[in-house]
Chains A and B, each alone.
Chain A
Amino acid sequence: MWKEKYKIGVELIDRQHRELFRRVSDFVKTVQGEGEWEEKLSKVKETLEFMKEYVITHFNDEEIYQKEIDYPEYEKHRQIHQKFKDEVGKYVEKFQQEAYSEETVQEFGGKLMAWLINHVAGEDQKIGYFQNRGGSV
């Protein structure tokens, strides 16, 4: 799932992005793979738990980095992160209400993958572009 063009040229952020892509990719392989849903559930729950924390850690680190370099679109970027965290929160509630139904977990997986690709290939690239141009947009 990871492509070299997603790199932004900031070591910490690229490392975290790679890890996120790796986890999302594993997650998709698990939910799309053969086998009974009940058998996949423990892996699904484990990955979701990990990602819930890792996404927050990563967003925080990225926002701290943006502050350090005086990134002019910090506030806009923070709001995009917040909106996504809110959406993940709604899914977490739904998972609990529906006992992790296959339908909803699949739906979440599709949305998460597309969101992540667009965010990292688009909005996040601007951070690297800004920094590598010596601080101008």
Chain B
Amino acid sequence: MKVQYVNSFYKAVQDVFGLMLDIKPERENPAVADDMIAGNEANVMIGITGDLSGSVLFGFSKDMSLEMVRIMSGMEMNKLDSFVSSALGEVVNIISGNAVTNLAEEGYICDIVPPQVIIGENKSISMATEKALILPMKTEIGKFKMNISIKENR
């Protein structure tokens, strides 16, 4: 997997978290996985089509998800209901939109498939994927993971 794919998403995460949440996430050491498992309490998956194809899965803990929505709404949240999951899905949608813009600057013209939010741990998502790169991210309100599996179609 090329470094541009990963960096496009990493930059988008930093920009959107900064803009919407006033938080600056930092990357930790990446790892390689054979498949994509929605191993967190709140998982959001988006698809990539066009010059590149694949998917990116974002995994958040319940506490971090609720805190993200609290920062946006200014209201305490206590459960992963459809309001919280939809807000989370939209944040990932916005990140992915920015990532697609970053990829276009690298010469890859892509589109995103709208996010799918999966609540509940260990729901494995079966996908005919290449290997996935797991990029752990650290923030002041918790850690989350990005599983990136993208390949070139050309």
A residues bordering B, Cβ < 8 Å?
1, 25, 28-29, 31-32, 103-104, 106-111, 113-115, 117-118, 121-122
Interface residues of B in 50-104 (CB under 8 A from A): 69, 72-75, 77, 81-91, 94
CB-nearest residue of chain B to A108: B86
B20 contacts chain A at the CB level, 8 A cutoff: yes
A114 contacts B90, C-beta separation under 8 Å = yes
* A-B residue pairs, 6 tightest by C-beta: A110-B86, A110-B87, A114-B90, A106-B82, A106-B83, A107-B86
CB-nearest residue of chain A to B18: A121
Chain B nearest CB from A5 CB (Å) reads 8
A114's partner among B74, B75, B94 (CB-CB below 8 A) is B94
Query: For A103, what are the chain B residues with a Cβ–Cβ distance below 8 Å?
Result: 82
B72's partner among A1, A106, A108 (CB-CB below 8 A) is A1
B19 contacts chain A at the CB level, 8 A cutoff: yes
* Secondary structure dominating the interface of B: helix
Chain A nearest CB from B5 CB (Å) reads 23
Query: For B19, what are the chain A residues with a Cβ–Cβ distance below 8 Å?
Result: 118, 121-122
Chain B nearest CB from A2 CB (Å) reads 8
B110 contacts chain A at the CB level, 8 A cutoff: no
Query: For A107, what are the chain B residues with a Cβ–Cβ distance below 8 Å?
Result: 82-83, 85-86
B118 contacts chain A at the CB level, 8 A cutoff: no
B90 contacts A111, C-beta separation under 8 Å = yes
Query: For A1, what are the chain B residues with a Cβ–Cβ distance below 8 Å?
Result: 72-74
A32 contacts B90, C-beta separation under 8 Å = no
Extra contacts besides A28-B73, A107-B86, A114-B91 (7): CB < 8 Å: A106-B81, A106-B86, A107-B82, A110-B84, A110-B88, A110-B90, A114-B87
Q: What are 16 A-B pairs with beta-carbon distances under 8 A?
A: A1-B72, A28-B83, A31-B83, A32-B83, A103-B82, A104-B82, A111-B89, A113-B72, A113-B87, A114-B87, A115-B90, A117-B72, A118-B16, A118-B90, A118-B94, A122-B19
A25 contacts B74, C-beta separation under 8 Å = yes
A30 to B90, CA, bound (A): 20
A110 contacts B82, C-beta separation under 8 Å = yes
